[in-house]
Structure 1
Amino acid sequence: MLHSHRLIRVSLALALSMSAAGALAGSDDAQKLKNSLTPLGAERAGNATGTIPAWEGGITQAPKGYQPGKHHIDPFADDKPLFTITKANLEQYKDNLSPGEIALFNSYPDTFQMPIYKSRRSGSAPQWVYENTFKNATSAKLLEGGNGFADAFGGIPFPVPKSGVEALWNHIARYRGTYLVRRASEAPVQRNGSFSLVTSQQEALFNYYRKDGKFADLNNIMFYYLAFVKSPARLAGGATLVHETLDQIKESRLAWFYDAGQRRVRRAPDLAYDSPIAASDGLRTADDTDMFNGSPDRYDWKLVGKKEIYIPYNNYKISSPDVKYADLLKVGHINPQHTRYELHRVWVVEGNLKPTARHIYSKRVLFLDEDSWGAAMVDQYDGRGELWRVSMAYLKNFYDLPTTWSALDVFHDLQARRYYVQNLDNEESQSVDFAQPLPEDAYFSPSALRLRGTR
């Protein structure tokens, strides 16, 4: 039974990816998406110093030789670092670093580094996502208490956000394809650098991004997620099914697990907020997944504004099949020589725990890439108000869609001096596949899970 409960949490690597009601954006704001802003709401212009370029459409086609479903070819493989930030020169660059990044330098002064590359605004999305985002700009509205949104479909719901919770929903509802299949691993990395992989076959159907317009008819289900554990042997054969709800106050996340030993499907216990994820060895909560997911209702969210920060970007090397896990996963942090950071504008969104709510984090600060709305980094604070955990999403353009998403998610515990990694597929024969035909809704039902289950 212990293994069964552990299985529930093992497979949520991809699944959970995903205030008072605000006023609708005006038509003037929507028109900005046609001129001064990009179609997703970022500033088209570069910065005053020229260190952040203007957006000119991002990556619009895959590099020559790329095959869908295979590992991505690095379109910027010839780029060389402009400079490298280390503990020794940290003071020179602190104004463009997050508190979490500074904390990593202080925690690992001899080994943590940030190679800085030319900033390339590679972010892009399909035209139909741009068109839906333009429509959402004048139609989308928050549900009561900010616990979801309505009158939006298939695009960023609030491209010109008026509040922190609107910006947060942009992250949760950002585009990551419609249906995907992947095989990937996750691993907690111990203080001495040792790690053990858990590998699963994962599938997700994002109802919100179905072109057939069915989302409005799907009873609050934002996406389906299904995962079968392949290894280690003690967990192999188990599976998890998740129906991710939009308004989780109205209806909490629905989850089931398949127990391979008993060949039975059971409803999973509550997987939300700060429920610990067993496979992470205590290094990640349920709502840490995808940098933040689920209901925002336990925090008061504030839109702090924009800032220029060095964030992980265009990280193709980090997921290359030429980089083995033993070379990537090092003591304290991943190997810096395989990482890439660039200067980008980010939205800073701060969530403070409500006085009446309970959570192990008293505050969380998200740094959202302006070109994609994906959280590149999150700082999480403990009950004493001290920085405790630092999450980093190593972003890249999945140009087979296209979209900007994470090649690798890394969750650092500064106090335990351990970290946890998700989405490892370097040593797999293929990467994420977005080209498979969409299955019927019944494919993601508990009864179907039972039929597909194996010992």
Structure 2
Amino acid sequence: MKRLIQSTSLGLSLLSAATLAAVSPEQAAQLGKTLTPLGAEQAGNADGSIPAWTGGLAPDAGKQSVPGFLDDPFANEQPLFTITAQNAEQYKDRLSPGQLAMLKRYPDSYRLPVYPSHRSVALPEFVYSAVRANALNTQMIEDGNGLTNFQTAYPFPIPQNGQEVVWNHLTRYRGGTMKRVSVQVTPEKNGAFVPVKFRMEFTYRDQLKDFDPAKPGNVLFYYKEEVTAPARLAGSVLLVHETLNQVREPRMAWLYNAGQRRVRRAPQVAYDGPYPASEGQRVGDNFDMYNGAKDRYDWKLVGKRELYIPYNSFKLDSPNLKYADIVKAGHLNPDHTRYELHRVWEVEATLKPGERHVYAKRVFFIDEDSWQIVLADHYDARGTLWRVGEGHLQPYYDVQVPWLAVETLHDLLNGRYIASGLKNEESQGVEFGVKALAADYTPAALRNSGVR
């Protein structure tokens, strides 16, 4: 089913702000030819270390030997080589500043095991069809803060600027609806941690049972997360109505406080406001590598690069591992990470004069095949590289949804990090295609779901 997302008050928008044009029919015709259906270069690189895209992993590429967990189709592969602090100079042209900083910060433990590259991303045909329409019709309005004529996902498969690249990340296909149990950790410098368990769900608006396409509104999707452990945090619930144009209509968020048994608006869950249960290790727009409004930054498309990025991270999702096997002091256990050479878009965000944010500059590296941010470097007001994010991509090939096995954000200054998305020890995996009502995502429902 296609999702048609139109900004409200379109006529006023066209009058009040410039509309940025879509690409030409000649450019759009390259989708599925020289470009993949999502706009990546279909061909491999010059030396063959990045292969051509041939359709990605098929839904039957593996099975679920353990319910809720996908088998690793590349389990028998061994690393081609390993990048360490000692040999990083040899590979620096294919490493991000953040990766080089991590190697320097943890010279005796952090390393990148590099495996053969597999372009495994595949999506349903209806998404590809929507992307072809988007290439011809979708436009940015209101200084890039809104969209018109947008279907389903990926409004700009052939991007012309940095904002368009980031829009592809923000609107990427995530299966329409999802429920999962997810574990987050914020280890101390010595590696000690207490798992925080969440029950999460989201629903795109057109997947609601009671969605009215004649009145789509400005909400893009609904998101809810409940803390279920440890006991001191259990029962707290966050509800988000994620708006498409967050300048015209800011994100709406509510928090249910289990101790007070009250629901309160939570406007701080945005930009650089503190993210719940993160012990100060990430701000609101760090979640999902980057989320929310883009209006506080100027966006520059630097271009494309070939980088060693976390990819096909099935090991990190293995039910054979315990959290203590993965979570180590300073960073994840490199025995279970996997890096491959892929092409990425590089986008630089610089804080606008007069705007406020704890990050004065951010640099994002976005996988060309999935439009997922896989690496993110964050700089403070002094220009110091402060935090380094990694998104360990894992395609859910059975339902053709690119996803992250784990996302991390490392603080180079205090030596701590946050990792979220873990589920190795859980009995429940990710469940896609669950239908919900709009009433399930109201403050009243939030209060009911949070009662212990």
Unaligned runs of 5+ in 1: 1-18
Partner in structure 2 of residue 14 of structure 1 = none
Indicate conservation of the 8 Å contact 1:69/1:433, yes or no: no
| 1:443 pairs with 2:440 | yes
CA drift of 1:179 comes to 0.8
Partners of 2:62 and 2:72 within 8 A in 1: no
| Structure 1 residues 197-255: Cα deviation after superposition (integer angstroms, max 9, x where no partner) | 11111111023678998567331101101122111111212212111111111111111
Matched ranges for 1:196-207 at <5 A: 196-207=194-205
Per-residue CA distance 1:114-143 (angstroms, 9 max, x = gap): 000000000111100000000000110002
| 1:25-424 correspondence runs (5 A) | 25-66=23-64, 70-207=68-205, 217-424=215-422
Alpha-carbon distance in structure 1 between the residues aligned to 2:33 and 2:190: 52
CA distance in 1, matches of 2:241, 2:296: 21
For each residue in 1:139-195, what CA deviation from the matched residue of structure 2 results, as whole angstroms up to 9, or x when unmatched? 100021111211111121000001100111000000011111101111111111111
Trace 1:426-441 onto structure 2 (pairs within 5 A).
Answer: 426-436=424-434, 438-441=435-438
Q: Is the 8 A contact 2:58 2:398 kept in 1?
A: no
Take 2:361 and 2:278, find their aligned partners in 1: how far apart are those partners?
Answer: 21
Give the count of matched residue pairs. 436
Q: CA RMSD in A?
A: 1.9
User: Which residue in the other structure is 2:8 paired with?
Assistant: none
State the percentage of identical aligned residues: 50
How far, CA to CA, are the matches of 2:66 and 2:24 in structure 1? 39
The 8 Å contact of residues 208 and 436 in structure 2, kept in 1 or not, is answered as no
**Alignment partners' CA distance in 1, 2:443 and 2:358:** 32
Letter in 1 for 2:440: Y
| TM-score normalized by the length of structure 1 | 0.92
Shift of residue 69, structure 1, vs aligned partner? 6.1
Q: Which amino acid aligns with 1:334?
A: L
Flag structure 2 segments of 5+ consecutive residues without an equivalent: 1-16
- State the distance in 2 between where 1:94 and 1:64 align: 35
* Cα distance, 1:258 vs structure 2: 2.0
Alpha carbons of structure 1 residues 270 and 201: separation in structure 2 relative to 1, 3 Å: same
Q: Is the 8 A contact 2:306 2:341 kept in 1?
A: yes
Q: Is the 8 A contact 2:268 2:274 kept in 1?
A: no
What TM-score results when the alignment is normalised by the length of structure 2? 0.93
Alpha carbons of 1:370 and 1:214: their partners in 2 closer, same or farther (altered >3 Å)? Answer: farther
Higher mean C-alpha displacement, 309-318 vs 442-451: 442-451
Q: Give the letter aligned to residue 88 of structure 1.
A: Q
- 1:23: which partner in 2? 21
Contact 1:68 1:435 in 2 (8 A): no
Cα drift, residue 261 of structure 1: 3.2
